[in-house]
Amino acid sequence: MRAGIRMFEANPLFGIGPACSMFAYPIYAPDEARCGCQLQLTVHNTFVQVLSEVGILGFMPFMLLFGVSFWRAWKLQKGALSTYATALEVALWGFVVCGLSGGFAYTWWPYLLGVLIVAATHMSTFDPQERFDAAN
């Protein structure tokens, strides 16, 4: 994580570039990590990885994705899809917890969960009778 924080400190606004932390790791690795293994390590925290690779300007939309997803899941828990919304929220929390020890920013999980929450939001507002009346 210290290498990722050093990358962010060197390039706070735009970061070092998407998916480039793996290549920049040997440059920014702390001295105690220089045991011959510094060429094989990556940033093992999703949030530090995003900060180091896309800077604060990319980190804000990434966190906004999580904020909006959590907010929508919480709102959905008051309706007919409450069980599904709770499951989606738990899955999103699971990703957050796992992201604290792994660099998963480029996996499909957080984005798929966000899309499922958006789909559930649209499903909760769908009224089949209204569609039937409009067709006739």
43-60 exposure pattern, b = at least 16 Cβ within 10 A, e = fewer: bbbbbbbbbbbbbeebbe
Q: Give the predicted TM-score (pTM) of the model.
A: 0.81
Q: Which range of residues forms the domain containing residue 119?
A: 2-135
pLDDT confidence of 102, banded at 50, 70, 90? confident
The structure tokens listed for 12 are 């706070």
Q: pLDDT at residue 19 above 90?
A: no
15: burial class by Cβ within 10 Å (0-12, 13-18, 19+)?
A: buried
The total number of structural domains that make up the chain? 1
**pLDDT (tens digit per residue) in 22-70:** 888 888 887 776 666 666 677 889 999 999 999 999 999 999 999 999 9
